[in-house]
Chain A
Amino acid sequence: GQQVMQIPQYQHVQEGEDFTTYCNSSTTLSNIQWYKQRPGGHPVFLIQLVKSGEVKKQKRLTFQFGEAKKNSSLHITATQTTDVGTYFCAGAGSYQLTFGKGTKLSVIP
């Protein structure tokens, strides 16, 4: 079945540093979604990418979808303490999304 790998599993950064998490799928995806889960909370949708090579920005967050639609990345510029949480990518399969294991981001003030 479809597998979605996400790296790194953990990332500790100083406030102000940049952060990137990478997502790779074993199969070509029709689309990819990104979610953020704050500590103790539930996943919240951030964005969906559909087109090959698509790049979308949300303030300090930049999302990319690979040309082959098998990989994606999320880059945060100048991290803030409010960015703390676990970031999940999710690749679209037949009916459902396959979630990666997530990257847990810690930001040291």
Chain B
Amino acid sequence: GAGVSQSPSNKVTEKGKDVELRCDPISGHTALYWYRQSLGQGLEFLIYFQGNSAPDKSGLPSDRFSAERTGGSVSTLTIQRTQQEDSAVYLCASSFGTGRNNEQFFGPGTRLTVL
């Protein structure tokens, strides 16, 4: 079966523009996570969805960041008024149940560059 997919794979935008990043999790996975990875750095947790609800939004760095998940499947991460420090690879992961007890399957990521 298909793994986690993300689109676009690369996004170059100008400072101040809004961007939307999409994640298609593995079918049947109820948990979905967004992470940010800056160059050569670790994984920074952004947000966790269980079904369509987000019990943990604690990692969103500012109110410019938001995310939603519809139908318990596809998720969109939106960054408004992008800044240069938003440049990073944004990774999505999904898992059965809660990812804290189960293997997380990562997508290939979206590389965001803010000029």
Contacts and interface: CB of A to CB of B under 8 A. Distances in A.
Given A97-B45, A99-B45, A102-B42, A45 B33 contact: no
Interface residues of A, number: 26
Contact of B109 (A1, A42, A101): A42
Interface of chain B, helix or strand or loop or mixed? Answer: loop
A101 B55 contact: no
B60 to A, nearest CB: 13
Interface of A: 1, 6, 30-31, 33, 35, 41-45, 48, 88, 90, 92-102, 104
A100 to B, nearest CB: 6
Nearest to B89: A42
B72 interface: no
A95 B98 contact: yes
Given A31-B101, A44-B106, A101 B45 contact: no
Nearest to B40: A104
A96 B56 contact: yes
A94 B99 CA distance: 10
Contacts of B56: 94-96
B103 A48 contact: yes
B67 interface: no
B48 A95 contact: yes
A43 B56 CA distance: 22
A47 to B, nearest CB: 9
Given A48-B103, A95-B55, A97-B100, A42 B108 contact: yes
